[in-house]
Structure 1
Amino acid sequence: MKHLLLLLFSVFILSCNAEKIETTKSIQSQQYITVLGTAQDGGFPHIGCQKECCANFYKGTASKQKVVSLGLIDKESQKKFLFEATPDISTQLDDLERNHLKTSTIIDGVFLTHAHIGHYAGLIYFGREALGKKNIQVFAMPKMKEYLTQNGPWSQLVDIQNIVFSDLKKDSTLTITPTLKVTPFLVPHRDEFSETVGYKVEGKNKTALFIPDINKWNLWKKNIVEEVKKIDYAFLDATFLKDGEINRPMSEVPHPFIEETVSLFQNEPTEVKNKVIFIHFNHTNPALQPNSKERKALEKLGFRVASEGDRYNL
């Protein structure tokens, strides 16, 4: 009798666990953001880098890190979108197809932030030398559209309609599926060829900010801490950990150091810090590496660090 009771109890526990797993699967959001890349424009390993960080890749002790990109999935509407057209676009689009949502269209739209190489150079693979597909929708601000239209080789994509534009306006919300909205907003950056925007993404239940590039938080008209409090996730510029990280004047490539961002949030509760997801890491930034002490220290403080494959339900 004792053995029978133990057997029944074991079956009960197993069935409860099975039910719990099944319920967890059933409540997974049909809308979510997935991280497709985390590195700054030059990627990791970086061209010309002879430092230990990149040497570790060639030794086989560090993994390649793709250039910063997010995928936006809406399975209810059977649509998927890409934020940034990076030099790694081929494998990033394959990731979306293979691991998230396979449809008859390789992508339903690409949102661009600005005209620095890691954020638009991948568009070239839509051209006749590579994919050669027609009418891929590109969401771009006015100066970004003008730059692509008037300068080769990008202009050829426009001329033969590999890409078609959906015009964006600052602070104007675009409904891209019945329950997904995207709003671009201007941020200060090195705007040599185009303006620079971040994006707010609104899903059924949650919202996110995506600001991979900005000069300094105090140059923005908005308060980043207050903006983060209003949303659920904030993918923020984490190019450099601290001053002196690279062997050239860092004023030439201004970004908010992670140390500066952490300082702005130091007096906020954990639930606010936990909304911050650092992304867009230079190859020299030790927080790019999964097991670094710097990354662990950030996570211990309550912040999050983006990794390829992460999902954030909307």
Structure 2
Amino acid sequence: MRITVLGSSAGGGFPQWNCNCRNCAGLRAGTLRAKARTQSSIFVQPSDHADGVLFNASPDILDQIRSRPALQPGRAIRDTAIAGVVLMDGQIDHATGLFMLRERTSPLPLWCTDPVEEDLRQGNPVLRVLGHYCGVARQRIALDGPAFEVPGVADLKFRAMPLASKAAPYSPHREQSVPGDNIGMTITDRRSGRSAFYAPGLGSIDPAVFDAMAGADAVLVDGTFWTDDEMIALGLSTKTARDIGHLPQSGAGGMVEWLGRLPARTRKLLIHINNTNPILDEDSPQRAALAAAGIEVCEDGMTIDL
């Protein structure tokens, strides 16, 4: 199985278009050792050059496809290696890119939970709009149900579980989350038995989530904020990381502590990194702390072979 990180940033990308925090200003000025990033998405294939599954469709999807030739194999006058799309939530940075896939010659195969479908038909009616173009062949993701397959990618199986996080701001249950607003996904290669756990939005870790992480060969999990008060300290928000559904990396009960409990064999990666997070600075003490803990920071174009 090959996982390609198409985008590794949180919403807004890095640098964010209207932000002049230390990270964004430093990257633009060339005074910060860091890499630009697009909004988070991964592409999973059973092997190199095979069709695969797109997890989340960010607003940057067209640039991501142009940058990764594997997604455009050129076998016909209209072609794509995207056999289907799986949404982890209904957030703008994970669903707006569906608009950019409207030129398909057949309905877009899309897997999402019932709450996400509701939000994308009502609060942000992406799916209704696509009905005027290619259409959508929506498949229901069951929570804690049996594993499912995506046609054309038979060597991989996918199993979802509900996560504690937040629904999109336009969702009617933004402040009263329901199961299925956010999911984590275990992706397993049927041939080798090796697996990855993917959860770009993760507000807390309960025993079931930790068991899924511990059972995987690689985990790609929420790397949005370093501290719980990161946005408050910068004067950019009045809400903590946990308030908006993201477990910070540092501090007691933070992501670094949880990842440290995983088996030594587990490859540990952070994805969906906010532009304010000091781990983007490759010379920062926070980045050094992650390296010492054996935790990687995802960057666009990274490939993980399992």
Judged with a 3 Å threshold, the aligned counterparts in structure 2 of structure 1 residues 159 and 145 are, in CA distance, closer, same or farther, namely farther
State the partner residue of 1:242.
227
Deviation at 1:163, TM superposition (A): 2.8
Deviation at 1:291, TM superposition (A): 4.1
Distance 2:141 2:209 in 1: 23
State the partner residue of 1:308.
300
Distance 2:220 2:57 in 1: 17
Per-residue CA deviations over 1:288-309 (Å, capped at 9, x if unaligned) read 2344332232112222221222
Give 3-state SS (helix, strand or coil) of 1:44's partner: coil
Deviates more, 1:181-190 or 1:160-169: 160-169
State the partner residue of 1:34.
4
State the partner residue of 1:164.
137
Does 2:248 correspond to 1:257?
yes
Judged with a 3 Å threshold, the aligned counterparts in structure 2 of structure 1 residues 242 and 82 are, in CA distance, closer, same or farther, namely same
Deviation at 1:212, TM superposition (A): 0.5
TM-score normalised by the chain length of structure 1: 0.79
The answer to which structure has the higher helix fraction is 1
- Counting only pairs closer than 5 Å after superposition, residues 78-89 of structure 1 correspond to structure 2 as 78-89=50-61
Judged with a 3 Å threshold, the aligned counterparts in structure 2 of structure 1 residues 47 and 256 are, in CA distance, closer, same or farther, namely same
Unaligned runs of 5+ in 1: 1-30
State the partner residue of 1:113.
88
TM-score normalised by the chain length of structure 2: 0.81
State the partner residue of 2:181.
195
State the partner residue of 1:5.
none
- Counting only pairs closer than 5 Å after superposition, residues 261-276 of structure 1 correspond to structure 2 as 261-266=255-260, 270-272=264-266, 275-276=267-268
Judged with a 3 Å threshold, the aligned counterparts in structure 2 of structure 1 residues 290 and 35 are, in CA distance, closer, same or farther, namely farther
Distance 2:42 2:257 in 1: 26
Deviation at 1:111, TM superposition (A): 0.7
Deviates more, 1:99-108 or 1:162-171: 99-108
Distance 1:138 1:80 in 2: 13
- Counting only pairs closer than 5 Å after superposition, residues 36-185 of structure 1 correspond to structure 2 as 36-61=6-31, 62-75=34-47, 78-96=50-68, 98-99=69-70, 102-104=73-75, 105-106=79-80, 107-127=82-102, 131=103, 133-150=105-122, 151-171=124-144, 172-176=146-150, 177-185=153-161
Distance 1:202 1:161 in 2: 30
Give 3-state SS (helix, strand or coil) of 1:271's partner: coil
Judged with a 3 Å threshold, the aligned counterparts in structure 2 of structure 1 residues 53 and 114 are, in CA distance, closer, same or farther, namely same
Deviation at 1:108, TM superposition (A): 1.2
Distance 1:167 1:90 in 2: 26
Deviates more, 1:228-237 or 1:143-152: 143-152
Letter paired with 1:41? G
Judged with a 3 Å threshold, the aligned counterparts in structure 2 of structure 1 residues 209 and 293 are, in CA distance, closer, same or farther, namely same
Deviation at 1:245, TM superposition (A): 1.1
CA contact (8 A) 1:137 1:166 kept: yes
Per-residue CA deviations over 1:157-177 (Å, capped at 9, x if unaligned) read 034433321222112311233
Q: Aligned to 1:216, which of 184, 204, 207?
A: 204
Deviation at 1:254, TM superposition (A): 3.2
Deviation at 1:271, TM superposition (A): 3.0
Deviation at 1:153, TM superposition (A): 4.8
Structure whose alpha-carbon radius of gyration is higher: 1
Indicate the percent of aligned positions where both proteins have the same amino acid.
24
Per-residue CA deviations over 1:14-41 (Å, capped at 9, x if unaligned) read xxxxxxxxxxxxxxxxx31111111112
